[in-house]
Each structure stands twice: as structure tokens, then as C-alpha cells.
Amino acid sequence: MALWINEWKIMTEIIRTANLVKDYSLGKVKVRALNGVDLTIGEGEFVAIMGPSGSGKSTLMHIIGCLDTPTSGEYHLDGVLVSEMEKNQLAMVRNRKIGFVFQSFNLLPHLNVLKNVELPLMYAGAGQKERNLKARQIIDSVGLSERLRHKPAELSGGQRQRVAIARAIVNDPAILLADEPTGNLDSQAGGDILEIFSRLHSEGNTVIIVTHDKAVANRAGRIIRIMDGRIENGDIAG
Amino acid sequence: MAISLAESLSVGLADILTRKVRSAVTVIGIILGVMSIMVVLAIVNGMNKSTLEWMGERGGLSKIEVHQNWAYDFSKGGDASFDLREINYIRQQVPEAAAFNPQTQLNPREMQYGELGYTCSLLGVFPDMVKVEDWPVKTGRFINQLDIDNHNNVVVLGSTTATELFSSRSPLGQYVTYTGNRLLVVGVMEPKFLQNQGGGESFGGENALEYMNQRAFVPLSTLLSKIDPNQRINSLSLQAADPESAKQLRRKVEDIVLDLKRGKRLFMVDSAQEQMEQMKRNSQIFSTIFVLIAVISLLVGGIVIMNIMLASVKERTREIGVRIAVGARRRDVFLQFLVQTVLITGLGGVLGIILGYGVLGGVGKYLKLQVIASAQMIWVALLVSVGVGLLFGTLPALRASTLDPVEALREE
């Protein structure tokens, strides 16, 4: 289904959720983290998801990232109904369609930069040669070709996050999903990282940043605000 | 989609290499377990072989021996010996015996040749001794039936006895004197030799059968009639046609002897075949017990490995979360940890085999034991160590692969 942004532009939707509900049970108490989320994000959009802690934005991000499944409701990613998928299929979706960037980088400490970036390619079943070639290209594109053999501990925070971005995009995913990507960085390094996201967006990638930082959110083309498990505004593209 | 086993191997190997000390400590239990299995089996193998060699040298598996029953209470009366009449009666009852040799042994006394003297045991025997003991003469001849019938004063010397009295000269045709009896030397036996096992220098130096070479043999009739009329026949050896019929013959001889001695169990009757079977059963029990102990040490090693791997999974929760986030399937995570455990235990197995060989070399050398390591044992050791890895790697791998990625990524 295509949706009209305005009169000239036709966008393909990459994410569409319908009445997403997620319940957690904390002991005997049932907590509703998401309470009917309807959300549409178009291909090539740069979206920020904002909300205070406890609003359900992390839960929403986990479901969008296929790390978690909704209690009820539908989630279509790139035209595929993933809310009904089983775990092995979800692993494949995470591998092929989603690139994660975390606040705390989450690089594997005993692997060097090259091996960290190769990881998604390995799980995609790529051969050693192809992995090496692709990973080198991507690392080059984030400006770290001098640091191939370095371990994460030997890099600055900004450099680590660039490695994480390289790992996220190496499999050419449908969406890039970043959770507070500048939260652990100083403003200089954070600015550099946001520049990379802007560039990736301008190259046609779909970028979703979860943040509570207004300055970060303002970079996005659209801000989706979430509160008490519901979307307050910005639920439809444009 | 899934990463291949080769991939899991390389990931597992990398894990081991980044955690060298931990892997080394983990593996010690397995090394020791595998080593002890190998050493025990090799020693048991060696002992079985040594015993068979001993039996082979002492007349083979068809041999049956009648000797005094040490468990018999002689205060009840009776005398654990035969006279010639009884011996002839037994011989008539067992025509199927391939060889028949009653014998009696005098306490060692000096045998003289001219100026020289040598203290040796004199045995009165039948011509069949060479068959029963599977022991040929080297030069001359052995005692024959004519010597028995005529109570001839002839003697056949053990090889050591001959050397002691005659050095390099031929003793044949010479006369020696034993307790005043002049005896014509008609033959010299082949030397008996068996490599000593575990006994060190205590008996006969390197040759466990040297005592046999220090003997001399005369016709049984001559000994009983001329040399010592008070002496009686105290042992009897037979040779059956083959090891299987030896079992029946043994029972038959036992019955005959029991009947002859009016139901008194003065004698024990053993067959080499049955002794060998008993020995095999014993060594089987022995090796089963020791292998069981080794297996217990392997299980303990396995439990240690399981604990360390569980701790490792806990420690690497976040890493597992990241791997799942970038597309690792549960199976990939499961395999990564299982392969790592199996690699560690397999490595332990290999090191255990190498160490086992070292220990076996030492054991063989210092205890003078024959040890036999076989290729089969290596396979068993390797299989067992990999099996331990599979058994005890499953739980940690399962725990790793069922982690909730959201929780795992939250873990600090």
C-alpha cells in the first residue's frame, strides 16, 4: 500500500502497526506497556520516537526491532507480517532487515573492529571473503579504515559508535534502529554520529532514533511522541 | 542462514584462545580422567599378557596340576602324598591324558663333581615331564621308561646346575654324587627364561623361572628306592589333549584323587585353562572398578566444566544478546557454546592421552610391568572426553540459547 505524503511524493510504507498491545506481568500485577499503537513509517523517513521513561518507547523499539513480540495487534515490516513469525524467522528478519545501534555500543570486546562488523554477515551465511570485503567497505565509509585491527577498548566513544553503525548497516537493512545513540557521547562526538545518521538518511536509508533529547529529535523529519503506551502525535507520516 | 559447524568451531576456538587460563583449568579434570582410564587399561592388558606368557612357559593351557591343599586341616589326619601304587592306579584311570608326570622334590643338598659342589634341588620325575612342562633337553637325552623300570642311576641337569659344576665342558657321561649316590649325567635341559614382571631383583634376578634351571632330575623310581626311601610323591602334573578337554580331565582327576583318599580333600586340582579364565574374570572386575573410578573423575571434571560454562554464559549474557540482535538464531548460540565445551573436553582428551603415554612409560620402566596401549583405547578415551563435553555442555548451551534478548541486552 502506498500512502500520500503530499501531492507530489509517493512513499512506500516500511513499518505499519495496527493496535499493538504489549502486556508484562510483574509478579501478579499485569502492566500494559503498549496500549494500542498504530504507527506508520515510510521508506526513507528519518523519524524520532520520544517519550519519558516508562512511556513504552523502549518496548515499542524492541517490538519494531523484532527482539520482542506483541501480545496482540499486527506489525508489518517491509510488507511482511512479522508479528506472527516464529523465533527463527525473527532472527532472520533481525539479520536482514534491521540494523541496531545502542546507547552503550554493544560491541563484542574480544573481537576487533573488522570482526565486529563482520558478525551480521557471518550469521547471514556469507563466505569469509565476501564478509571481509563488505565489512572493509563499510568501515571505510564511517572513516575507521585505520582501526580495523583495534579492539573496542582501544577506541574512543565516538569511534565505537561508528563501528556499531557500520555493523548495523553492513547487511543493508530495511531500517536503522538507534536507541539513544548519542547518550554516552560528548556533544562533539554526538554531533558527528548524528551527521552520519543524516547522511545515511540522505542516501535513502530509513532511520528511526529513540531518544529523549530534543536536540537529537529535531534532526529527524518527524517526531513521534509516546505517552502511557499510546502515540500522542505524529503517528502518520508527514 | 544458519552458521555452519565450521563457523561454530572457529567461534568456539576463538573463545577458548581468548580465555586461555580458564580453559586450561577447566580441562584438568578431563586430562586426569582420560589419563587414568588409559593407564589402567594398559596395565591390565599388560598383566593379562604377562600371565599368559607365564602359563605358556609353564606348560600351556592344557596343563593340570595336583598339589597339596593348603586349606586342609591336617589335624583331621591324612597325608598329602601318593605312593607309586596310587600313581599307577591314577595313570590307568586317565588314559586320555596326553602326558602324566608325578614328581617329588628333595630338600636342596650338595651335588658333587670331583672337587666342586653345587647345592641344588633333586626331583624325581617321569619321562613325561618334558611334555608336561613343555621343556626340551638341550644336549643328551631325558629320563626314559627304561630308566624308570630299571631304577637307573642317571641324572639330567638344569642348565645352571650344569654350568656351575662343569662350566663350559660337556657333563654328558660324567658322574656326579648326591647324598652318596653316584649318578650318570645323561642330559642337560634347555634354559628356562621369562622376563621378570614387577618382582625386581627379589627372585632370580631378571629371570622369573631361574629356579627351574637350578634343579636336577632323576627317575622317580630311583629316587624313591635308592636316594631317599622315606620320600613320597607330593605333586602330579598332567597334560590334556587340549585346553577345553583339560576342564573335564581336571574334574575327573579330582574325583579319582578324592576317592583314593577316602573323601579327604588333601589335594587341590587346578587346570591352567580354568586358572586363566578365573584370572580373566578377575582382571575384568579389576579393570571395571578402576575404569569406573576414572569415569567418576571424568564426571566430576564434567560438572566442573558445566559450572564454568554456566558462569561463562552468565558473564557473556550481553554478548549473547548482541549476537541475537544481529541475527544469531537460537541454534547458532546453542552450537557456539556446545562446540566450545566439546573442544575443551576433546582437547583435554588429547592431552590426557599424551600424558597417559608418558605415565605408562614411567610405570613400565620403574615397576618393570608390561603395559600395552592399543589404538582402541585412544579412540575410547577420545570418545569419552567428547561425550563428557556433549553431556555437560548441553545445559549451559541451552541456557545461553534461551536467553531473552531484551533482558540480555539490558544486563550490565
Q: What is the pLDDT of residues B91-147, one digit of tens each?
A: 999 999 899 999 999 989 999 998 889 999 999 999 999 988 889 999 999 999 999
Cα distances from B411 to residues A104, B57, B296, B315, in angstroms, run: 11, 73, 36, 10
Comparing C-alpha atoms, which of A134, A141, A191 is closest to residue A163? Answer: A141
Q: Output the pLDDT for position A102.
A: 93
Residue A218 neighbours by CB distance under 10 Å: 10
Per-residue model confidence (pLDDT) at position B289: 87
Residue A78's nearest CA partner among A40, A21, A131, A30 is A40
Mean pLDDT of B312-340: 91
Q: Residue B293's pLDDT band (boundaries 50, 70, 90)?
A: confident
Instruction: Answer with the residue of higher pLDDT: B212 or B11.
Output: B212
pLDDT above 90: residue B360: no
Residues B131 and B242 in one domain: yes
pLDDT top residue among A62 and B295: A62
| Residue A1: pLDDT over 60 | no
pLDDT higher than 70, residue B205: no
In which band, very low, low, confident or very high, does the pLDDT at B3 lie, cut at 50, 70 and 90? low
Higher pLDDT, B19 or B272: B272
pLDDT higher than 80, residue B196: no
Q: Please check whether residues B196 and B326 belong to one and the same domain.
A: no
Q: Note whether B244 and B295 are same-domain residues.
A: no
What ipTM does this complex have?
0.92
What pLDDT is attached to residue A53? 84
Say whether pLDDT at B370 is over 80.
Answer: no
| H/E stretch holding B116 | strand B116-125
User: What backbone phi and psi angles, to 5 degrees, belong to B401?
Assistant: -80, -15
Which residues are CB-contacts of B365 (< 8 A; sequence separation ≥ 6)?
none
pLDDT grade for B298, boundaries at 50, 70 and 90 = confident
Q: Do B325 and A67 touch (CB under 8 A)?
A: yes
Domain that includes residue B96, residue range: 61-271
B353 lies in the same domain as B227? no
Q: Which residues of A touch B2 (CB under 8 A)?
A: 125
Count of structural domains within chain B: 2
- Are B145 and B261 found together in one domain? yes
The pLDDT assigned to B76 comes to: 77
Task: Check B327 against A68: CB less than 8 A apart.
Answer: no
- What mean pLDDT is predicted for residues B304-329? 91
pLDDT for residue B353 is more than 50: yes
Beta bridge partners of B235: B103
Does residue B308 carry a pLDDT above 70?
yes
Sign of CA dihedral B32, B38, B41, B47: negative
Which residues of chain A are within 8 Å of residue B18 when distances are taken between CB atoms? 110
3-class DSSP assignment, residue B108: coil
What is the distance in angstroms between the Cα of A68 and the nearest Cα belonging to chain B? 7
**Contact yes or no for A122 and B3 at CB 8 A:** yes
**pLDDT above 70 coverage of chain B, percent:** 96
> What is the mean predicted confidence (pLDDT) over B390-412?
91
| A2-233, CATH topology level | Rossmann fold (3.40.50)
Q: State whether residue B389 is helix, strand or coil.
A: helix
State the distance between the two ends of chain A, measured CA to CA, in whole angstroms. Answer: 16
Mean pLDDT confidence for A160-165: 96
Average pLDDT score over chain B: 86
Residues B114 and B149 in one domain: yes
B278 vs A50, more confident: A50
Residues of B in contact with A120 (CB under 8 A): 326-327
Q: Which helix (H) or strand (E) holds A30?
A: strand A29-42
**CB atoms inside a 10 Å sphere around CB B89:** 13
Domain boundary among B209, B238, B271: B271
Per domain, the residue ranges of chain A are 2-233
pLDDT of residue B47: 81
| Residue A49 β-bridge partners | A210, A224
Averaged pLDDT score across all residues of chain A: 90
pLDDT in tens, B59-78: 788 888 898 888 888 787 77
Q: Please give the distance of CA A79 from its chain centroid, rounded to a whole number.
A: 17
Band (B197; pLDDT cuts 50, 70, 90): low
Task: Write down which residue in B213, B237, B271 finishes a domain.
Answer: B271
Tell me the three state secondary structure of residue A120.
helix
Measure CA B251 to chain center: 26
pLDDT band at B275 (very low <50, low <70, confident <90, very high): confident
Is residue B161 located within the same domain as residue B252? yes
pLDDT computed for residue B4 by the predictor: 65
Q: What mean pLDDT is predicted for residues B255-275?
A: 86
Distances (CA, A) of A81 to A77, A233, B349: 6, 24, 49
Span A36-47, average pLDDT = 93
Mean pLDDT within A132-149: 94
Indicate if the pLDDT at residue A9 is higher than 60: no
Predicted confidence band at B156 (pLDDT cuts at 50, 70, 90)? Answer: very high
Could you tell me which of B7, B328, B22, B368 has the C-alpha nearest to residue B196? B368
CB atoms B330 and A102 under 8 Å: no
What pLDDT shows up at residue A238? Answer: 46
Q: Are residues B259 and B396 in the same domain?
A: no
- Quote the pLDDT of residue B359: 87
Of A24-28, A76-80, B366-370, which gets the smallest average pLDDT?
A: B366-370
Radius of gyration, alpha carbons of chain A? 18
Q: Are residues B253 and B334 in the same domain?
A: no
Query: How far apart, in whole angstroms, are the C-alpha atoms of residue B118 and residue B161?
Result: 7
Share of chain B above pLDDT 90, in %: 36
Using pLDDT thresholds of 50, 70 and 90, give the confidence band for residue B153: very high
A168 pLDDT tier (thresholds 50, 70, 90): very high
> Chain B partners of A171 at a C-beta cutoff of 8 Å?
327
Q: How many CA atoms lie within 13 A of B339 on its CB side?
A: 19
Same domain, B18 and B91: no
B185 plus B247 within the same structural domain: yes
A121 — pLDDT class (breaks 50, 70, 90): very high
CA distance B205 to B196: 8
Contact B356, B39 (CB under 8 A): yes
Is the overall model pTM greater than 0.90, yes or no? no
pLDDT at B326: 93
- Segment among A52-56, B70-74, B186-190 with least mean pLDDT: B70-74
Percent of chain A with pLDDT over 90: 74
Cβ neighbours of residue B261 closer than 8 Å, sequence gap 6 or more: B78, B267
Q: What digits encode the pLDDT tens for the residues B336-351?
A: 899 989 988 998 899 9
pLDDT band at A235 (very low <50, low <70, confident <90, very high): low
Contact state of B326 with A94 under an 8 Å Cβ cutoff: yes
Of B271, B295, B315, the domain-final residue: B271
Q: Do A67 and B323 touch (CB under 8 A)?
A: no
Query: Which amino acid does the sequence have at A219?
Result: R
Task: Select the more confidently predicted residue: B195 or A92.
Answer: A92
**Mean pLDDT, to the nearest integer, of A73-94?**
92
Shared-domain flag, residues B66 and B149: yes
| pLDDT tier for residue A233 given thresholds of 50, 70 and 90 | confident
Determine the distance in angstroms separating the CA of B20 from the nearest CA of chain A, rounded to an integer.
Answer: 13
C-alpha cell at B244: 577345553
Interface of A with B (CB under 8 A): 62, 65, 67-68, 87-88, 91-92, 94-96, 100, 102, 106-110, 119-120, 122-125, 167, 171
Distance (Å) of CA B117 to CA A145, B155, B164, B165, B401: 97, 16, 8, 7, 86
- With cut-offs at 50, 70 and 90, classify the pLDDT of residue A237: low
Q: Do B330 and A123 touch (CB under 8 A)?
A: no
